[in-house]
Chains A and B, each alone.
Chain A
């Protein structure tokens, strides 16, 4: 029960921060649009950043919102949330010494683990969708007309991407005992991945290429998810979930 409360609170926290970031970003759009040349001059030393600005200039507010909301907001805060929601699932119980109590209830391990997996995934994804629902209304305040569908598809893609990070952390939680160590490890790896995105020569090795502005703009253009990206991501999540179940079945209390 404690875990559900904690998930609801953290999910609410994720929603509030994402929404505040989104409101600020959308209301700033007119200024951004007016100063894009100055910003390009500032970003000149970082080629990857200049490329992002070029994409935004080509695609207008859609690319800008995709960059601010999905690439920046959801990828950073969402990754942290994915790690936070998953890391305590099993390792947290081991660390607190509550695993035996949890397992001695009249429920199967598969059910216990699946409930935890789904609850964390839902808590992680809901703020992404709910914040995206507010985009058309916010855009209207600055005189822009935005359709909802591209952002909902973007949210779905984002949730699938973060779901893979969540599943990786969940699996590590099923085989490890120290949630802090697992969280530091995953956050270190993801921060490194995010950092190399900005380095032009190695940017293609970054996982965040799978959830950057170009990907979201392509989804909006095609009005559909890109199966070359979401199928492997979903596959990875399924494999990691299966591995988590196997590891949890053998876990000692």
Chain B
């Protein structure tokens, strides 16, 4: 099987002391396309990306990136991919030009002119010392460096965080053009659903180190359109909601979202399944009061995100 441009994680896991940051994760990404890794802070996104690039050693499982197995400190992988870290702290005493040159050192010759071109395109004042750069400018400098080398896989940890809307759009457009024109596999993490929705073909939802869901981005829209949200009085005990949720879980084609609380129950009704069945089950549930409202098929992406992650995702 041709593994060029493919990212494959096979049971990749990592703990920090007693906290499991990433539970065994199995996923295949690419070749080609933009994949978004979505999740709130602390969901394991950065740890996962760092494991793929060898910056954090996994405690279990293995990874294969662009046909190269993760071994030792991952140097072989880092030679074949570019990675933009989430925490961007440059050497402030260098000028933008010097720093960019330093960042692409060790890459092929074409990396420097391309990184320079992208930095210029983004309007970075390369002659100025980096310590005078804003947070967004520093991120753009790192972004330009990560876009410079010709590679088949690029990994970005929150590439647009801290950028103004115009720059954010430019960065996403560059990523999309790269994936479209060069066939590069792009994996980016974010906690902005809108951004992932705009840029990604596929989305992986992470929560507390577990892969919560994995879907094509188009499916997110379809899923939002098949969401049924039932609101009970807010004082309704959670255990009663949980009992009702257990009952509807048994119905075919029904999935109960995480984060159902404060009297709110969100369900996803698969195509071909009848939401009336669910409502009937809920209305006849012995411990539940009558619902105060219910909405079907009108959930926004933002609401869907909240339903997946609960309050921590908001």
Residue A104 contacts which of B53, B91, B98 (CB distance < 8 angstroms)? Answer: B53
Q: How far, in Å, is A181 (CB) from chain B's closest CB? A: 20
Q: For the complex, is B56 an interface residue (Cβ under 8 Å from A)?
A: yes
User: Which of A10-18, A33-41, A94-102, A206-214 is found at the contact surface with chain B?
Assistant: A94-102
Docked CA distance A98–B98 (Å): 16
Q: For the complex, is A201 an interface residue (Cβ under 8 Å from B)?
A: no
Docked CA distance A104–B149 (Å): 14
CB-CB < 8 A to B79: which residues of A? 106
Q: For the complex, is B75 an interface residue (Cβ under 8 Å from A)?
A: yes
Tell me if A109 and B85 are in contact (CB < 8 A): no
CB-CB < 8 A to A228: which residues of B? none
Mark interface residues in B289-301 (1 if CB within 8 Å of A CB, else 0). 0000000000000
Q: How far, in Å, is A114 (CB) from chain B's closest CB? A: 13
Tell me if B55 and A105 are in contact (CB < 8 A): no
Mark interface residues in A106-131 (1 if CB within 8 Å of B CB, else 0). 11111000000000000000000000
**In chain B, what residue has the closest Cβ to A104?**
B83
Q: For the complex, is A250 an interface residue (Cβ under 8 Å from B)?
A: yes
CB-CB < 8 A to A2: which residues of B? 91, 93-94
Residue A1 contacts which of B55, B88, B102 (CB distance < 8 angstroms)? Answer: B102
Tell me if A97 and B87 are in contact (CB < 8 A): yes
Docked CA distance A61–B127 (Å): 54
Tell me if B89 and A101 are in contact (CB < 8 A): yes
**In chain B, what residue has the closest Cβ to A108?**
B75
Docked CA distance A61–B55 (Å): 55
Docked CA distance A104–B145 (Å): 12
Residue B85 contacts which of A107, A250, A253 (CB distance < 8 angstroms)? Answer: A253
Tell me if B93 and A253 are in contact (CB < 8 A): no
11 additional contacts, CB 8 Å, given A1-B91, A98-B91, A104-B55? A1-B94, A98-B90, A100-B50, A103-B55, A105-B105, A106-B78, A107-B75, A107-B78, A108-B73, A110-B73, A252-B56
Residues on B facing A (Cβ under 8 Å): 50, 53, 55-57, 72-73, 75, 78-79, 83, 85, 87-91, 93-94, 98, 102-103, 105-107, 142
5 A-B interface contacts by CB (under 8 A)? A96-B91, A100-B89, A101-B85, A106-B106, A250-B57
6 closest pairs, A vs B, by CB?
A97-B89, A2-B91, A108-B75, A106-B79, A100-B85, A106-B78
